[in-house]
Amino acid sequence: MKKLIPFMMVILLTGCWDVQELTEIGIVAAMAIDMDEETGEYQLTAQYLRPSAESTFVASQDDPFLMITVTGRSISEMLRKTNHKIDRKGFYAHNKVVIVSEEVAKEGLLSIFETFQREQVVRSYVWLGVTRDTSAASVLEKQKNSISKVSANFLSSLFDNAEYEAVAFNLLKFYKQALRQGMSPVLGVLSFDQSNQNTEADVQLSGGAAFNKDKLIGFMNNKETMAYNWITNHGGSSAQGGLTFPYKEDKYATLKLIDINSSIKPKVTNEKDISYTIEIKKQVEITEQQELKKTETRKELPKLVAELEKQAEKEIENRVAEVIKKAQEEFQADIFGFGSSLRNKYPKVWKKVKDNWGQEFANVPYEIKVEVEILNAGLLQGSLHPQE
Amino acid sequence: MRRLRKSSENKGSQQSQQSKQMARRVSIQLKDNRSTLKQNFNNSIDIQFRDLQLQDKNNTRGFICYTEGLVREEYIHQNVMDPLLGINFNKVKVNANSLISYMDSHIIKASSVNKTSSLDEAIEKILRGQTAIFIDGFDSALLVNTEHYHSRGVEEPETEATIRGSREGFNEVIRTNTSLLRRKINNPDLVFEEFIIGENTKTKVRVGYIDGIAKEEIVEEVRKRLNSIETDVVLETGYIEQYIEDHPKSIFQTIGNSEKSDKVAAKLLEGRVAILCDGTPFVLTVPYLFIENLQVPEDYYSRTFRSSIVRLIRLLALFLTVFTPAVFVAASTFHHEMVPALLLTTMAAAEERVPFPILLEALIMIVIFELLREAGVRMPRPIGSAVSIVGALVIGESAVQAGLVGAPMVIVVALTAISGFVVTAVNNTVILIRFILLFLAGTFGFYGLLLGTLFLVGHVCSLRSFSIPYLTPLAPVVAKEWRDTFVRSPMKDLQGQPGSIVRKKF
């Protein structure tokens, strides 16, 4: 009894203080941060899930989510303000995406993400995206090109599938690169596809938003983003997609990437002249080759392969040079991590140049070495060709 | 009481009352004997007296006394009455003084006849189904073993169903039960010792072990504990279990029970000690280790792979049945971030129309399930099907539609219940642990669950069963024994017979 009484007191008099029943929490699936141009206040749009619409019994006909928008100066303040506007208490651990608008990104993101880390409300693997030419809140609306009923799931799937011409950064990776010496992050860009005038625009994830530390400085187009992916080797090999280029006149060839290995190698001569060698080694397979030609002899096959390899190398080299040039001249931001590779190999040199790395990077000479190896040509040896 | 090695039926009980005060003796006067007996039995209707007159020169009188229903009456007629009344003592020339000895050796045809001069012993034996013969002028009586009573046959036990293996279960007669064991173990080293326990019931209790395999200390400990029992009533082995167990206040049982003869035989061969009790088919085995809860005889009858997988599944079931409701409650009231987002939404959707906190829902469902289970056990067979119909309604979609619980809770309770049936041996313990952990999880979340589990593990580690730590071979680790713990190695690796830490030579 002497033992039982304190035990029961512990159970009955203390517990339950942080109990949150499922019916008390509002699950926030996505957040968008915009900026009010006039007042300079932030505008937070949170997407709350409506569970009854997801019920496995009789689902209600309501929208599966609803949006709450509040304005304020700090994110933490706004997270609390949302509780005044909705009958559930915000629960952010299942937040999947945080979208910021172009204007917010230009102001700098670390200051607004600070509370995420300080309060641990949002998990570090939440996807980050920047909107281009549209408000952040607008992409959270229900999109017509979404199979998922909840647009948060739609957006997070876009990031999950990112390859070829898109980048996907989560919060943790953003922190790592934004806080690291000699590297700047690139976030995925969400925009409305304007290419088809007739129909309502689709949301798409394509291109990259280049940052200088945590501030947005410019956008990369699709081709540049692809080259950026090759240089930085982001997301593993299969996520890199393939390479399509004109092979003969208007006939195109597509090479599918099997493995990629790229490195940035700094070289210092005379203790201050920094130069770089960018090596990209690719293993690919031919997945499409549109030229219909009969191969007369078997010797032609290796020749064809060698030719393709050569052309691919040239194509890659051009594209890589283009994106480095853009980064150097237009962004003056080291999005590839030239600085951090220098820091790893020549820490003493890095110490001297690090304060002025932005300008240093803009003028640094580099050399590009590309090696493409075609491993196989699928199940076709030559190509299809109709008999005369 | 003193211990009797390899006692037979008759020797078994002769000691019983020796410790008891002034023993009454058989009087030389027949009338005295008869009136004392009548008085002693309070004229009870089922005690039968029958007067005799022998054909000798004195026309000596006598009577026999037995308990109706405990004897086979034809047997008395054929082997006691006929010879006694049929013989002409004048012809056989027997000394009048040794008349009773002559009867014992020449006349009565029963297989077991004893002479006694103690009236108390005679009374006791009469109550056990023997027939007492009193002859005028002798201060001793003859006790003929005519014991016979109705009993259930050897049937398949209902509590421990098996697919493969012996279907013989013990019944309520201790003689049958020892014979079932003897039939399985044809070894002179299998020893049964008899104890009489209970002031009023005078219940026969037998302790069985295999000399040379069982540890002497354990056997001695069992004798010591049985001898120290002071009680009026022993109706079932459960009475004995509660007197001799190591930790009466623990929720874990440290004495095993079974009504399967092959299981008990196997335990005897592992060096364990069996305690049988007249009047119940349940036989106790000691020492009892935690791991035995997860083992069944079939593990040894089926092939290695099957038994190993099934044992692992039982282990899983044990964890599931203990932790499922608690983990569910903790995750859905404290740790929402641990549940996948989609599941959390559907769970929230299910909770949308339920007015109770999840802890209360879990309690409601688990209590309902326990009610159903108890009802299913107590209900007379013919209306048993009603329970399942009602049960399906109460723990099922109707409960959800009525808005009492959310649909996920039904799954949780069903999973808990099904897993509980897999480990029936520990079910009684598990019910309690489940409630404790449920409360801890509902008040402190996983933190409470963890504390509760730690406390529990600590408690189990502190237990012993007849000097063997309860968690052996897990704690202390007995590596050799692991071949037959969570998995069962092939028979050849077990060296032909299941090894055990309780064996003498291990």
- pLDDT attached to residue B415: 94
For residue B322, give how far its alpha carbon lies from the nearest alpha carbon of chain A (Å).
Answer: 20
Tell whether B483 is covered by a domain.
no
Range A73-81 average pLDDT? 89
β-sheet bridge partners, residue A49: A65
Tell whether B133 is covered by a domain.
yes
pLDDT by 10-residue block (mean), chain B, 506 residues: 40 42 78 90 90 84 90 89 84 78 84 88 90 89 87 87 89 92 93 93 93 91 94 93 93 93 92 93 93 90 93 95 95 90 87 88 91 86 80 83 88 93 89 92 90 94 92 85 86 64 62
- Alpha-carbon torsion, ordered B227, B233, B239, B242, to 10 deg: -60
- pLDDT attached to residue B283: 96
- pLDDT attached to residue A14: 65
Q: Do B215 and B275 belong to one domain?
A: yes
We report the CATH number of the domain holding residue A321 as 3.30.300.210
Instruction: Domain of residue B73: give its range.
Output: 20-145
Distances (CA, A) of B377 to A84, B78, B186: 54, 46, 37
Closest by alpha carbon to B293, among B268, B318, B320? B318
Best probe of the A interface among B328, B336, B345, B405, by most A CBs < 10 A, is B345
- pLDDT attached to residue B8: 39
The span from the CA of A108 to the CA of A322, in Å, is: 26
* Per-residue tokens: B356: 């109770």
Taking an 8 Å cut-off on Cβ atoms, the answer to whether A56 and B358 are in contact is no
Q: Do A213 and A274 belong to one domain?
A: no
Q: Do A207 and A310 belong to one domain?
A: no
Packing angle, helices B407-422 and B427-444, rounded to 10 = 150
pLDDT at A221 over 50: yes
Taking an 8 Å cut-off on Cβ atoms, the answer to whether B442 and A93 are in contact is no
Taking an 8 Å cut-off on Cβ atoms, the answer to whether A21 and B357 are in contact is yes
Q: Do B65 and B189 belong to one domain?
A: no
Q: Do A208 and A338 belong to one domain?
A: no
Tell whether B475 is covered by a domain.
no
- Residues 429-448 of chain B with CB under 8 A from chain A are 439-440, 442-445, 448
Interface residue A57 vs chain B (CB under 8 A): yes
The pLDDT tens digits of the residues spanning A276-327 come to 888 888 888 888 888 777 777 777 788 888 888 888 898 889 988 998 988 8
Taking an 8 Å cut-off on Cβ atoms, the answer to whether B407 and A56 are in contact is yes
Q: Do B270 and B356 belong to one domain?
A: no
Q: Do B346 and B213 belong to one domain?
A: no
* Domain end residue (candidates: A167, A193, A220): A220
Interface residue B350 vs chain A (CB under 8 A): yes
Question: Three-state DSSP class for A129?
Answer: strand
Closest by alpha carbon to B210, among B233, B181, B231? B181
Tell whether B1 is covered by a domain.
no
Quick one: how far is CA A203 from the chain centroid? 15
* Domain end residue (candidates: A200, A220, A240): A220
Interface residue A61 vs chain B (CB under 8 A): no
Taking an 8 Å cut-off on Cβ atoms, the answer to whether A55 and B349 are in contact is yes
Taking an 8 Å cut-off on Cβ atoms, the answer to whether B346 and A54 are in contact is yes
* Domain end residue (candidates: A204, A220, A236): A220
The pLDDT tens digits of the residues spanning A222-232 come to 888 888 888 88
Range A119-129 average pLDDT? 87
- pLDDT attached to residue A269: 84
For residue B338, give how far its alpha carbon lies from the nearest alpha carbon of chain A (Å).
Answer: 9
Taking an 8 Å cut-off on Cβ atoms, the answer to whether A22 and B357 are in contact is no
Tell whether B39 is covered by a domain.
yes
Give yes or no for a contact between B477 and B300, defined as CB atoms under 8 angstroms apart. Answer: no
Closest by alpha carbon to A350, among A360, A363, A336, A365? A360
Per cent of chain A over pLDDT 90 is: 8
Q: Do A43 and A154 belong to one domain?
A: yes
- Considering only the beta carbons, identify the residue of A15, A25, A27 that sits closest to B443: A15
* Per-residue tokens: A68: 């709450």
- pLDDT attached to residue B192: 96
Q: How many domains does chain B have?
A: 3
The span from the CA of B349 to the CA of B338, in Å, is: 17
The span from the CA of B448 to the CA of A36, in Å, is: 46
pLDDT, averaged across chain A: 84
Question: Three-state DSSP class for B63?
Answer: strand
* Domain end residue (candidates: B265, B300, B335): B300
Tell whether A56 is covered by a domain.
yes
Range A236-242 average pLDDT? 58
Closest by alpha carbon to A128, among A93, A88, A91, A167? A167
Poorest-pLDDT segment among A238-242, A327-331, B289-293: A238-242
Inter-chain Cβ pairs, chain A and chain B, closer than 8 A: 80
Instruction: Domain of residue A277: give its range.
Output: 223-388
Q: Determine the residue of chain B that is closest to A152 in CA distance.
A: B341
The vertex-B253 CA angle with B249 and B256, nearest 5°, equals: 145
Range A135-162 average pLDDT? 85
The pLDDT tens digits of the residues spanning A15-70 come to 567 788 888 889 999 999 999 888 888 999 999 988 888 777 776 777 888 899 99
Listing from the earlier edge strand, what are the strands of the sheet with A242-248?
A242-248, A251-269, A273-289, A366-376
Interface residue B349 vs chain A (CB under 8 A): yes
pTM of the full structure: 0.83
- pLDDT attached to residue B59: 84
Interface residue B249 vs chain A (CB under 8 A): no
Q: Do A274 and A387 belong to one domain?
A: yes
Q: Which residues of A touch B351 (CB under 8 A)?
A: 21-23, 51
Interface residue A51 vs chain B (CB under 8 A): yes
For residue A156, give how far its alpha carbon lies from the nearest alpha carbon of chain B (Å).
Answer: 12
* Per-residue tokens: B389: 């119909």
Range A233-249 average pLDDT? 68
